[in-house]
Amino acid sequence: MNIVPIINTNDAVVPPPEPNSDLQGVISIKDNDSLAARLAVEMKADLIIVLSDVEGLFDSPPGSDDAKLIDIFYPGDQQSVTFGTKSRVGMGGMEAKVKAALWALQGGTSVVIANGTHPKISGHVITDIVEGKKVGTFFSEVKPAGPTVEQQAEMARSGGRSLAALQPEQRAEIIYHLADLLTDNRDEILSANKKDMEEAEEKGRLAPPLLKRLSLSTAKLNSLAIGLRQIAASSQDSVGRVLRRTRIAKELELEQVTVPIGVLLVIFESRPDCLPQVSALAISSGNGLLLKGGKEASNSNQILYRLTQEALALHGVKDAVQLVNTREEVEDLCRLNKLIDLIIPRGSSQLVRDIQKAAKGIPVMGHSEGICHVYVDSEASVDKVTRIVRDSKCEYPAACNAMETLLIHRDILRTPLFDQIIDMLRVEQVKIHAGPKFASYLTFSPSEVKSLRTEYGDLECCIEVVDGVQDAIDHIHKYGSSHTDAIITDNEVTAEYFLQHVDSACVFWNTSTRFSDGYRFGLGAEVGISTARIHARGPVGIEGLLTTKWLLRGDNHVVSDFSEQGSMKYLHENLPVPHRNIS
Amino acid sequence: MNIVPIINTNDAVVPPPEPNSDLQGVISIKDNDSLAARLAVEMKADLIIVLSDVEGLFDSPPGSDDAKLIDIFYPGDQQSVTFGTKSRVGMGGMEAKVKAALWALQGGTSVVIANGTHPKISGHVITDIVEGKKVGTFFSEVKPAGPTVEQQAEMARSGGRSLAALQPEQRAEIIYHLADLLTDNRDEILSANKKDMEEAEEKGRLAPPLLKRLSLSTAKLNSLAIGLRQIAASSQDSVGRVLRRTRIAKELELEQVTVPIGVLLVIFESRPDCLPQVSALAISSGNGLLLKGGKEASNSNQILYRLTQEALALHGVKDAVQLVNTREEVEDLCRLNKLIDLIIPRGSSQLVRDIQKAAKGIPVMGHSEGICHVYVDSEASVDKVTRIVRDSKCEYPAACNAMETLLIHRDILRTPLFDQIIDMLRVEQVKIHAGPKFASYLTFSPSEVKSLRTEYGDLECCIEVVDGVQDAIDHIHKYGSSHTDAIITDNEVTAEYFLQHVDSACVFWNTSTRFSDGYRFGLGAEVGISTARIHARGPVGIEGLLTTKWLLRGDNHVVSDFSEQGSMKYLHENLPVPHRNIS
């Protein structure tokens, strides 16, 4: 690729551009912008990068209240731009740059105008542009159909507000309708999904577990519809619930009520069933939603999105849910911190980690790792140990709440219980990795662990020996991921010590780690499991998609009346809260 | 400064180093590391930058579970390092690099070993190092007294856990004791503060409002002690409160309880009274705390920190609160995402914005802006308008909850009410800026606003005209900061419409915006006001420093028993929650 980078310098000898220079034909060279455009076209460059002291081309003068950076500028849009004062760097000003850019575009050279004034990141800017990332303003001849992702986010914001303003019954109706549409349009959905499956198999890009997640079936659609009806049924009491009421003073009453968070971005891989499910959760909680699915499921996602739109149209709130074009880069979406309030990745640990890294100033809800422990205490009863360990590891080893490390009290080594555990794991074909302390006790030798922080996600686990409950807790704090950790013991004091002191989202006594799940916890639909420490922790129900606002109703109250010499006193009296219906 | 950068290349012609080469005197040149060290010392370079393919020197082989990057390496510490296998780049291996580095250090040249393999950020690495940022491993002759900030964060984590394990009464005792210590040591505190004030005045660095915030007085200390005793009194019921109980199945009970968040980093400017207040909040909520105060208050902070330590020693939990050395850069602290769970900046909007930008993967709680609106509806009653607008703007104009923009219904223009508002603002010496629509109505002409998003923080405000309640709401959504917005009207339907539709943390009817405050809301001690949309929103009490965990107590329960063919059924029965005492 031929690239002509132009860095503006204050080349004062070049005369300023005249207002009506000729764009067609030969461009008059009046400044370095026109010079560069001419040169680039002459040498048939593919791209000119024009580095200025502003981020790119704005639709109004940069710095004004409404100014927005234009990501892609199409020649036909020229009228929509108001030019401001000239750039402080260079003579051309933005208008001259745009003229030069349009001329170059006509000549077959693409143009990017971007900010080059941060010496440390200019290197980045150029490589980012060459890699096709969204930087500055790109000049293009071809205008794609449909809105930009920024426009979609704004539509989701206002659509979400309309959704939140509906009656709870109306939101429920939309979700019920969506459930019906899934059943009624089963054949069309399955045939779109078949197309995705065939393409994926042809290209051989997807691993078998991903292929399995990509595929839809009548059974999957039926259980999806059942889940949606549950969400609809429980959506009556989510938005607008009063959590707290306080009489601040006579005729001054404060209320804290639940409200939607705003605009959610949900990024999901493979599983097209995510689309209606997540949409239902957003509808139920009155949130605007941006959906970003994987390219591999695009046919399935298109039809499911169309049905979601049809359901939303029931109450005129189609804008609330937006499917983002598959070409949009996840990384670019994660930068829209003024437009998106919360990102929820639904997929592999790697996806979550990538998004946590990419998210610039937007909170991310999700667990990147589930390194769950089961600690077998010296006072564990024999009948519980094999049952709970088997369920924790073998019932569904790919789940994030499956056990990865088995901690065994030293006193159990070389007892019949220990042999039973090992036998059970062998029968279940679980590959054992020995922690360093366990390895030192062994005469037989399973492979030693590479790291005590491994999430196997398969029929494999690590076994390590600990000196007692405190040592187990220390191990969990050092190597765990604060997801779910369990103790097996018949000593209640030891159990309570473990429950109180283990600093994880879920801490269990004499139960399988696999109970760590929104549905099993009775939270209704599960939004996800969060290992974050703020907002929501552990299995998250629809409440994780809500925040609160404070409403204060007064009658001419001012704070100066409450000063020491004032006429008013704070009462701060708790008022009864309407009964909260936990479904 | 003379700097010798070395970028490792696979220079296979250089023979590998011998194990016992002489560090003293002349170094034998066996690889490019020793060559560089020799050259740098010969030319009296101030610094060698050695770029490798690892982040720097680790205390164990990089990649192993316990490996930690050493920020500053002191020659005496050599024994504490375990060298791993050789670097894939270059011949030297880390041991050879360290030898060369130590030799250079003896010769008077400082050394930094850092990662140079990411082509895009290598430029950064070198400039960052030259600017003295914490990158890679710095070799230094002088070992500073005291722990590193990473060690302090770990001490705060384990100290916080000890604090959380205390009885609520014990945490309260520590806070009461701290309150007493503040009163008992008043003279010493005030004399330390006087020293800070004198130094600040001498240097003339601080603006008068900052000087005012820096100064302590007997009155300030007394009200601080009163505040601390309130926090102590209300701390009985914060940690370990049961929020929700569910019977999942027979003998399988789930409990959601409040727990501390973990380790908080509080960054504060000027105001040394922040130190004991924030410490009391952290102690009450069982959180570990890193405190980072401004250099200008270092004498005051030192004595206040000593007293906090003395109070914590009452129950052996001194480690829970750590004062971070004033030399540590805020930016470096904001990168410690594995050690810090929440950052709370206490200071100017600029500080909050800077920290929001710097925080890498750590949530930040705080409001960066308070652009609050009062909307005067066409049905507002005359007696309320001037009172509420005066209180909202003039009572304390520097507060974040003060009004910045007054929205006036078009029908009020040129009525006696309008004249009253303008007269009141003139009497109070409030400078008026006209919004574009208001300006077009005016014959007289106050200065037109530069931006409708301005936070004046002074006796200045913007006035804009709107067509009605919907137009007011649209204006607030477009230009506001979602902090606090109020409506003045006697029409209840209009008021409720405003309360339901304005998407801000606090929405008020016929009251001053200044009520938006934790104390006035009856939340007890105020942690801050949050304009974030997740975790905590609006005025935040001690609950903002808490998260939850889920405790599940069973008796040999496994999920496989709950399958379709299984013997168990989910009950999901709500159980009564012990009475919640909102103080």
A418/B contact by beta carbon, under 8 A: no
Residue identified by tokens 């950064």 is: B124
Burial class of A536 by CB neighbour count within 10 A (0 to 12, 13 to 18, 19+): buried
Identify the CATH assignment for A372-515 out of 3.40.50.970, 3.40.1160.10, 3.40.309.10, 3.40.50.720.
Answer: 3.40.309.10
Q: How far apart are the first and last CA of chain A?
A: 61
Residue B249 CA to residue A246 CA, distance in Å, equals 36
Which residue on chain B is closest to A127 by alpha carbon? B120
DSSP secondary structure of A45-63: -SEEEEEESSSS-BSS-TT
Which tokens hold the place of A112? 């990017």
The closest CB to that of B559, out of A391, A533, A557, belongs to A391
Residue A90: the pLDDT is 43
pLDDT tier, A133 (very low <50, low <70, confident <90, very high otherwise): confident
Could you list the beta-strand ranges (E) of B513-581: 528-530, 538-540, 546-557, 573-575
For residue B120, the chain A residue with the least C-alpha distance is A124
Residue A550 has pLDDT above 90, yes or no: yes
Structure tokens at B557: 């329960």
- A252 to chain B, any CB pair closer than 8 A? The answer is yes
DSSP label of B126 = H
- Considering only CA atoms, which of A537, A149, A159 is closest in space to residue A334? A149
One fold for both B149-358 and B372-515?
no
How high is the pLDDT of residue A84? 54
pLDDT of res. B258: 95
Q: How far is CA A479 from CA A115, A483, A495, B262, B294, in A?
A: 44, 11, 20, 16, 35
Yes or no: say if B454 and B404 are a contact pair by the CB < 8 Å rule. Answer: yes
Q: Does A1 touch chain B (CB under 8 A)?
A: no
B582 contacts A244 by C-beta, under 8 angstroms: yes
Q: Do B510 and A384 touch (CB under 8 A)?
A: no
A500 inside 8 A of chain B by CB: yes
User: Residue B338 carries which side chain, given as an amino acid letter?
Assistant: K
Q: How far is CA A91 from CA A52, A528, B40, B214, in A?
A: 11, 54, 45, 47
A234 lies within 8 A of chain B by CB: no
Q: How far apart, in whole angstroms, are the C-alpha atoms of residue A408 and residue B405?
A: 64
Q: Which of B382, B470, B553, B583 to mutate to test the interface with A (most CBs of A within 10 A)?
A: B553
Pick the CATH number of A149-358 from 3.30.565.10, 3.60.21.10, 3.40.605.10, 2.20.25.90: 3.40.605.10
> Which of A64, A363, A557 is opposite residue B511, by nearest beta carbon?
A557
Residues 6 or more apart whose CB falls under 8 angstroms from that of B432 comprise B422, B425, B446, B460, B461, B462, B463
CA pair distance B484, B472, nearest whole angstrom: 14
User: Quick one: pLDDT band at residue A77, thresholds 50, 70, 90?
Assistant: low
Supply the angle between the helices B168-184 and B218-233 in degrees, to the nearest 10. 170
C-alpha neighbours within 13 Å on the C-beta side of residue A526: 16
Q: How far apart, in whole angstroms, are the C-alpha atoms of residue A450 and residue A479?
A: 13
Contact list in B for residue A547 (CB cut-off 8 A) is 533-534, 537
Domain B3-139 fold:
Carbamate kinase (3.40.1160)
- Tell me the mean pLDDT in the region A249-274: 95
- Determine the Cα–Cα distance for residues A499 and A503; give it in Å rounded to an integer: 9
Helices A186-203 and A218-233 pack at an angle, to 10 degrees, of 120
Domain ranges of chain A: 3-139, 149-358, 372-515
Q: Is B497 on the interface with A (CB under 8 A)?
A: no
- Higher-pLDDT residue of B489 and A349 is B489
pLDDT reported for residue A4: 58
Cα A54 to chain centroid, rounded: 30
Q: Tell me if chain B has a CB within 8 Å of the CB of A133.
A: no
Closest CA to B244 of A539, A487, A157: A539
Identify which of B65, B395, B556 has the shortest CB distance to residue A384.
B556
Tokens of A545: 């998609």
Residue B111 tokens read as 């050394």
Interface test with A, best of B129, B251, B474, B552 (most A CBs within 10 A): B552
Smallest Cα distance from B5 to chain A, Å: 18
Using the Cβ of A244 and the Cβ atoms of chain B, whether some distance falls under 8 Å is answered with: yes
Q: Each residue of A139-180: pLDDT tens digit?
A: 888 777 778 888 999 999 999 999 999 999 999 999 999 999
Query: What is the C-alpha separation between B537 and A363, in angstroms, rounded?
Result: 14
pLDDT of the residue at B22: 45
Partner-chain contact B361 A363, CB within 8 Å: no
Report residue A328 as tokens: 């949009």
Chain Cα centroid distance, residue A83 = 37
The answer on pLDDT for A311 being more than 90 is: yes
Dihedral sign of CA atoms B432, B433, B435, B436 in order:
positive
Say how far apart CA A351 and CA A518 lie, in whole Å: 21
- Tokens 């609520």: give the residue: B168
A38 DSSP 8-state letter:
H
Q: With b meaning 16 or more CB within 10 Å and e meaning fewer, what string describes A261-280? A: bbbbbbbbbbbbbbbbbbbb
Reported as a pLDDT band with limits 50, 70 and 90, residue A83 is low
pLDDT truncated to tens, each residue of chain B (583 aa)?
Answer: 566 555 554 443 334 444 444 445 567 777 888 888 888 888 888 899 988 888 888 888 777 887 888 888 888 766 566 665 544 444 457 778 888 888 888 888 889 998 888 755 556 788 888 877 778 888 888 777 778 888 999 999 999 999 999 999 999 999 999 999 999 999 999 999 999 999 999 988 778 878 888 999 999 999 999 999 989 988 888 899 999 999 999 999 999 999 999 999 999 988 999 999 999 999 999 999 999 999 999 999 999 999 999 999 999 999 999 999 877 788 888 888 889 999 999 888 888 888 988 887 788 998 878 999 999 999 999 999 999 999 999 999 989 999 999 999 999 998 999 999 999 999 999 999 999 999 988 777 678 888 999 999 999 999 999 999 999 999 999 999 999 999 999 999 999 999 999 999 999 999 999 999 998 999 877 888 998 899 999 999 899 999 999 999 999 999 999 998 899 999 999 999 886 544 3
**Residue A559 has what DSSP assignment?**
G
Look at residues B390, B429, B377, B380 and name the one whose alpha carbon lies nearest to residue B513: B390
Please work out, in degrees rounded to the nearest 5, the angle formed at the alpha carbon of residue B256 by the alpha carbons of B359 and A511. Answer: 110
Interface of B with A in 449-468 (CB under 8 A): 451-453
**Neighbouring-strand partners of residue B258:** B548
pLDDT for position B418: 95
The string of pLDDT tens digits covering residues B203-255 is 887 788 788 889 999 999 999 999 999 899 888 888 999 999 999 999 999 99
- pLDDT-based confidence at residue A234 (cuts at 50, 70, 90): confident
Residues forming beta bridges with residue B465, ordered by sequence position: B408
pLDDT of residue B12: 36
Inter-chain residue contact B521 with A254, CB threshold 8 Å? yes
Chain A: residue whose CA lies nearest to B487: A553
Cβ contacts (< 8 Å) between A507 and chain B: which residues?
549-552
Please give the pLDDT value at position B10. Answer: 41
Q: Which of residues 309-328 of A touch B (CB under 8 A)?
A: none
Residue of B nearest to A355 (CA): B361
- The rounded distance, in Å, linking the Cα atoms of B379 and B387 is 16
Q: Would an 8 Å CB–CB cutoff place B552 in contact with chain A?
A: yes
pLDDT of res. B298: 94
Q: Is the pLDDT of residue A338 over 50?
A: yes
Query: What is the structure's pLDDT at B357?
Result: 83
- Note the pLDDT of residue B197: 95
pLDDT tens by residue, B328-384: 788 888 888 889 999 999 888 888 888 988 887 788 998 878 999 999 999 999 999
* Mutation site for B-interface testing, chosen from A337, A516, A551, A579 by largest number of B Cβ within 10 Å: A551
Joined tokens for residue A479? 């190597």
Q: What is the reported pLDDT for A353? A: 86
Closest of B408, B400, B395, B542 to residue B483, by C-alpha:
B400
Query: How many residue pairs bridge chain A and chain B with CB atoms within 8 Å of each other?
Result: 222
Instruction: Tell me the three state secondary structure of residue A504.
Output: coil
Residue B79: predicted pLDDT? 59
